[in-house]
A and B are shown apart, each in its own frame.
Chain A
Amino acid sequence: MVSGAGKRQRLALRIAAVPMGLLALSCLYPIFFAVNNAFKTRDDYMRDRFGLATQPTLDNFVQAWTRAHLNEYFLNSVIATLGAVILLMVVSSMAGFALASLRFPYRRFLFAVILSSLMIPVQVVLVPFMRTMLALNLVNTHIGLILSYTAFFLPFSVYMMTAFYSGLPRELIEAARIDGAKLLQVWWHVMLPLGMPALVTLAILNTLSCWNDILISLLVMQKHRTLMVGISALKGQYSDQIPLFTAGIVIAAAPIVVLYILFQRRIVSGIAVGAVKG
């Protein structure tokens, strides 16, 4: 059964595993680099930048957290991310319920309107977007950032929820299509709990998008920096204090890394679905 060709193929795959392994290590190296240097003292880093931290210190984290104001930035990012993720779940679940289960005029058209905005990234509307934010008094407010994130990450979420609710058994949808006055309760008591698998995936993916964002928060939050804006400012200020800077990087990346470790499968499958269908 083991033919010559099969043997040769297995050898070829084994050889390919070497560069692929190196590539895999390169994917882990930057975060190792950041963590390792974050525990070094400044002299430690000067003396040996490649080696492991010999006398690990937490001082860099303390300094970054307090003196470099990462505590404030962290809080701003948490507020904006949490607020936007919750709002995205509510708004996309409501819209998905209406689009998938209810009958009304212009249903397809309204769905197309929401999806078409995928073609309008923030760069394309940068100037009028800023003017809108100024006109609505939303610049430098948390609610402004939350609304912006929701608007820019919404179409994909609505698409996912519409697709999810469309896949539910018809009887459930018929059960939901009762007397108009009760529809809000139907959504709250039936559709929201049923949608949880999709909503949790969306919550995780949207957390990544909001937490990692730089351009929107750079525009909206000029006074109260988010973590990513803070880190990019830190880069200029502390360019001669690499251990302190890398401690900041570790603090900013930690929530995402934890999320990835906890929900790796959900993230990967959610993005695969989104990429192939969206």
Chain B
Amino acid sequence: MTANSLRQMGQAAPTRSRRGRGRRAEARVALLFLLPAILLVLVFRIFPLFWGFAISLTSATSTDPGQFIGAGNYLRALDDPNFRSAMANAVVVLLSVPIFVTIPMLLAILIHQGVPGRTFFRSVYFFPAILSSVIIGSIFSVVLSFNGNLNALLNLAGIGGVDWLGHSATALPVTLAIQCWSTFGMGVLIFLAGLSTLSKDMVEAARLDGAKMWQIWWHVIIPELRPIIEFSTVITTIGLLTSMFGLIYVLTGGGPGTSTTVPEYLIWAAQGRLNRPAYAAAISMVLFFMTSILAWLQIRILSRNANI
């Protein structure tokens, strides 16, 4: 087959008209090859985005198409305590982003600098990142339950147990800590990829100039990592806004109360349990607006770094 097509290529392009016909045939075949991908993306994602916006402007329920009510659902959201606490929780989540970025960065620099046991750390740190949030959530729900292992350990140390996930003050921070623990290996990987392009000479030169370790980190390594830090910040933020559903679903179900309800979880609850699909569609648009700003930032960062 390969030899055959090579021979045919040698014969190709004898006359203009035949080439023109070939071009048109090629374009037709190319579109056929693209068709499945385009169709899937259009039917399940792009068309629903516009449809969702249209639904968000109506009073639709699961059985009734409803009427056009303009911004009604969006205005209702402003008064809805569920939505307000979902947004407040989203702010808490966003405030934790620096932790999600800094910890992997420090670990990656340490691994890059040759900490003893680095090969082991590298492969083990990534392990939680491949497990489903359902698996991680299930294990932690057992370990952190009121009569679970952590409290049993604390009791042995003479400290009273805490209902980590059943208490509205601790539920969200604990959920975020688990999310951080389960994804930091991915961050380490990204920073290690960035560090692999770091010029060894610069670090060595700084060292020969008598720079202390923290000075080298602060003045040489971290400035060099700036594009990776920006990139990691944006994708961590998008990830936190759109991939915590599984963990929350298994660990807390959005509770206690609404203390771990974030926008993506509220969308799901409004669509199903609360049977308010039009309202869910409106919150979806709010979430889309938030992630779009981030994606715009991401594209800007990527294109600026590409220009360097």
A-side residues, CB < 8 A to B, are 5-6, 8-9, 12-14, 16-17, 20-21, 23-24, 26-28, 30-31, 33-34, 49-50, 90-92, 94-95, 97-99, 102-105, 107, 110, 113-114, 116-121, 123-132, 147-148, 150-152, 154-155, 158, 174-187, 189-190, 208, 211-215, 218, 228, 231-232, 235, 242, 245-246, 249, 252-253, 256, 259-260, 264, 267-268, 271-272, 275-276
Contact = CB atoms under 8 A, between A and B. Distances in A.
B218 interface: no
B213 A9 contact: yes
A127 B41 contact: no
Interface pairs A-B: 10 shortest CB-CB: A180-B25, A212-B132, A128-B48, A151-B44, A104-B27, A125-B48, A102-B30, A98-B33, A95-B37, A128-B51
A5 B207 contact: yes
Contacts of A272: 189-190, 192-193
Nearest to A28: B124
Contact of B132 (A92, A189, A256): A256
A14 B116 contact: yes
Given A24-B125, A28-B127, A131-B51, A232 B138 contact: yes
Contacts of B45: 117, 120, 125, 129, 151-152
Given A117-B45, A117-B46, A123-B264, A23 B125 contact: yes
Contact of A184 (B29, B243, B263): B29
Interface class of chain B by DSSP? helix
A151 B141 CA distance: 32
Contacts of A176: 5
A126 B152 contact: no
A75 to B, nearest CB: 17
7 contacts: A99-B34, A117-B45, A185-B1, A215-B268, A246-B142, A260-B127, A276-B193
A38 to B, nearest CB: 11
Contacts, number: 313
B38 interface: yes
Contacts of A268: 123, 126, 189
Interface string B83-104: 0000000000000000000000
A155 B38 CA distance: 10
B82 interface: no
A246 B69 CA distance: 49
Interface of B: 1-2, 5-6, 8-9, 12, 22-23, 25-31, 33-34, 36-38, 40-49, 51-52, 55, 107, 110, 113-117, 120-121, 123-128, 130-143, 149, 152, 181, 185-186, 189-190, 192-194, 207, 210, 212-213, 231, 235, 242-243, 245-246, 249-250, 263-264, 267-268, 271, 277-278, 280-281, 284-285, 287-288, 291-292, 295
Nearest to B208: A3
Nearest to B128: A27
Contacts of B114: 13
Given A91-B36, A104-B27, A147 B143 contact: no
Contacts of A33: 139, 142-143, 149
